[in-house]
């Protein structure tokens, strides 16, 4: 997959400073992966918070075993 992104001047300068002549694509790919991981964690937390009744009790018991 190819993705084309146009960066504003400030973000472009930050990216150039971060990679210091290295692989910009790798830095961007890492940032995207970290973003997606945070979204997955947030979605899981929201799902857990929405549990009620026996499901909530089972989750609390499971969490307590850690």
pLDDT band at 4 (very low <50, low <70, confident <90, very high): confident
- Would you say 7 and 15 are in contact if contact means Cβ atoms under 8 Å apart? yes
Tens-place pLDDT, residues 35-65: 999 999 999 999 999 999 999 999 999 988 8
Is 16 part of a structural domain of the chain?
A: yes
Q: Across the chain, what does the average pLDDT equal?
A: 92
Is 28 part of a structural domain of the chain?
A: yes
Extract the tokens encoding 61. Answer: 């018991």
Helix, strand and coil in the chain, % to nearest 5: 75, 0, 25
Which residues constitute the domain of residue 38? 9-64
* Structural domains in the chain (count): 1
CA atoms within 13 A on the CB side of 41: 6
Is 2 part of a structural domain of the chain?
A: no
Q: pTM score, two decimals? A: 0.65
């Amino acid at each position: 997959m190819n993705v084309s992104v146009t960066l504003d001047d400030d973000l472009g300068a930050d990216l150039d400073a971060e990679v210091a002549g290295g692989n910009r694509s790798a830095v961007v790919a890492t940032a995207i992966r970290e973003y997606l991981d945070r979204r997955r964690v947030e979605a899981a937390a929201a799902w857990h918070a929405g549990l009620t009744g026996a499901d909530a009790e089972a989750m609390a018991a499971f969490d307590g075993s850690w």
